């Protein structure tokens, strides 16, 4: 990306403009950009609508951003709300507010402390959540660490190392802050998933049809129809497993 002769695009009031190649894009007011956008950075503090595909290095959304297209970036931090109609590809994604992706997510690292929704798959080398999420497709990663504060849902979960457990909320202020920004936190901590498959698996507070892995440990407050394991299997006394078998 050549940046020596590119200019900044800054919107402070209300403006409609076309896309293009810029250095830094800052939207503090209400802006609509029509066309593909390429930039070094994108900062949205106000309300932005971008109709086109975006390629940028660093993005931070503190306001509201609607993207009618696909989005590719190095780092993406959402403190406000972001809606993306296409695919999202990034190295690092941090969702502290609300983000919805209509298609799929592909990243090296995804951290969720707000609310994430995707109608497709979410593929990340490392996925961590202390917020809530709804993934209509597959959640896939080498390391998946989910700390439940509310209700989370995925169609399938696959990875090498998978941990799903209830978040310790002994600190009241943490619960109050998260409840105020995440609707799902108001509900009982629960992971709902059709199937989980991995090497090292520990789950609690989970409803699943199938859990399949090498080393499988079912913690408290789980309901699982079938467990398949190749090495070892443990189950907490209060959890329900309809059937289990070694494969």
- The per-residue pLDDT for range 197-231, each reduced to its tens digit, is 999 999 999 999 999 999 999 999 999 999 999 99
Nearest to 139 by CA among 214, 74, 204, 197: 197
What is the reported pLDDT for 168? 76
Please give the residue range of the domain that contains residue 196: 124-247
User: Taking CA 223 as the corner, what is the angle to CA 221 and CA 229, rounded to the nearest 5 degrees?
Assistant: 110
195 within a domain of the structure (yes/no): yes
Q: What is the pLDDT of residues 150-171, one digit of tens each?
A: 999 999 999 999 999 998 765 4
18 within a domain of the structure (yes/no): no
57 within a domain of the structure (yes/no): no
72 within a domain of the structure (yes/no): no
Taking the C-alpha atoms of residue 126 and residue 210, their distance in angstroms, rounded to an integer, is 22
Q: What is the pLDDT of residues 13-22, one digit of tens each?
A: 999 999 999 9
Q: What is the pLDDT of residues 92-143, one digit of tens each?
A: 999 999 999 999 999 999 999 999 999 999 999 999 999 999 999 999 999 9
Ramachandran angles phi, psi of 178, nearest 5°: -70, -35
What is the reported pLDDT for 214? 97
47 within a domain of the structure (yes/no): no
Number of C-beta neighbours around residue 232 at 10 A: 11
Distances, alpha carbon 162 to alpha carbons 59, 112, 188, in Å: 29, 16, 21
- Helix ranges (H only) for 126-229 are 172-181
């Amino acid at each position: 990306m050549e940046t020596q002769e590119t200019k900044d695009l800054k919107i402070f009031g209300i403006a409609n403009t076309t896309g293009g190649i810029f250095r830094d894009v800052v939207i503090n007011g209400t802006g609509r950009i029509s066309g593909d956008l390429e930039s070094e950075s994108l900062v949205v503090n106000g309300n932005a609508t971008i109709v086109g595909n975006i390629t940028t290095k660093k993005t931070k959304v503190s306001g509201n951003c609607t993207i009618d297209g696909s989005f590719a970036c190095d780092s993406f931090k959402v403190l406000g709300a972001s809606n993306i109609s296409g695919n999202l590809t990034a190295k690092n994604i941090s969702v502290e507010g609300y983000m919805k992706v209509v298609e799929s997510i592909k990243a090296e690292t995804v951290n969720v402390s707000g609310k994430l929704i995707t109608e497709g798959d979410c593929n990340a080398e490392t996925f961590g959540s202390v917020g809530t999420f709804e993934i209509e497709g597959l959640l896939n990663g080498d390391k998946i660490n989910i700390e439940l504060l509310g209700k989370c849902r995925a169609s399938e979960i696959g990875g090498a190392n998978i941990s799903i457990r209830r978040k310790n909320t002994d600190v009241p202020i943490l619960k109050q802050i998260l409840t105020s920004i995440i609707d799902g936190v108001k509900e009982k901590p629960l992971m709902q998933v059709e199937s989980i498959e991995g090497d090292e698996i520990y789950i609690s507070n989970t409803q699943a049809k199938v859990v399949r892995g090498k080393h499988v440990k079912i913690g408290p407050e789980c309901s699982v129809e079938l467990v398949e394991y190749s090495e070892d299997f443990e189950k907490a006394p209060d959890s329900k497993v309809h059937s289990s078998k070694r494969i």
